[in-house]
Amino acid sequence: MTTACRSSRCGAPVLFVPSAATGRTMILDARPAPTGNVWLPHGPDGKAVTLGPDALRALRAGPEARRMHTDHHATCPDAATFRKGRT
């Protein structure tokens, strides 16, 4: 489900999805990006898979590129404020 970033300077649409590797929640830009490094194989209701360089090249070349997203911490102007352990 898409929601808005809590930052007053951002407000971008984001997705909260579990990581396939750790099960922990990741925050992703809701809009797919061809330069993203996180793949949602089953759409926004699936688990996020962070990919290495070889897998990224393969997926970006095909139809699965539409399921590539960017970690919101890389695009949010207030990312440091929301990192774990900071107030």
Question: Within a domain: residue 64?
Answer: yes
In a domain, 8, yes or no: yes
- Block residue for tokens 């970006």: 60
**Mean pLDDT over residues 56-70, rounded?**
83
C-beta of residue 28 within 8 angstroms of C-beta of residue 38:
yes
Give the tens place of pLDDT for each residue, 1-53: 789 999 989 999 999 999 999 999 999 999 998 888 899 887 767 788 888 88
Decide if 87 is inside a domain: no
pTM, two decimals, is 0.81
Q: Assess if residue 48 is contained within a domain.
A: yes
- The contacts of residue 62 (CB under 8 Å, 6+ apart) are none
| Total domains in the fold of the chain | 1
pLDDT above 50: residue 87? no
